[in-house]
Structure formats: C-alpha cells, structure tokens
C-alpha cells in the first residue's frame, strides 16, 4: 500500500514530506531502517532571467 501511495504521489507531482512516509512505513518494519543519501547538486533558475541560476549543493547524509 505504501509503495502504491508513493507512486501515485510521484506521478501527480505532489510533495509529501518524509515524516508522513516514515510513520506509514514504521508499521511495516520491526525497527527503523538506516538510510544514506549521496551528494546532490540542484541548479535553480531565476524567475526573473533565464541566464541566472544558483546551485544548491547538499552533502552526503
């Protein structure tokens, strides 16, 4: 059920915070899982000009 909800939310471009998924999945696993994320860099465009942007860099977590 949780995976179906995730897929439906992803295809509908709806933002659902991690806290919701954690509460929903905590009943599926006997103990919390360890997650690690890679380094991520996202280029964000300016709303005022197409040639202006900045990069949001998130270190590994």
Which residues constitute the domain of residue 28? 2-58
Question: Contact, 46 vs 53, CB < 8 A?
Answer: yes
CA distance 45 to 5: 30
pLDDT band at 54 (very low <50, low <70, confident <90, very high): confident
pLDDT band at 4 (very low <50, low <70, confident <90, very high): confident
pLDDT at 17: 67
pLDDT band at 16 (very low <50, low <70, confident <90, very high): low
Total domains in the chain come to: 1
pTM of the model: 0.34
CA distance 13 to 51: 26
pLDDT in tens, 24-52: 555 555 666 677 778 888 888 887 877 88
Question: Contact, 8 vs 28, CB < 8 A?
Answer: no
């Amino acid at each position: 059920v949780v995976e179906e909800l995730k897929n439906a939310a992803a295809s509908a471009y709806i933002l659902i915070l991690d806290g919701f998924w954690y509460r929903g999945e905590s009943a599926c696993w006997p103990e919390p899982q360890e997650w690690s994320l890679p380094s991520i860099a996202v280029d964000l465009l300016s709303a005022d000009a197409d040639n202006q942007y900045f990069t949001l860099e998130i270190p590994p977590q």
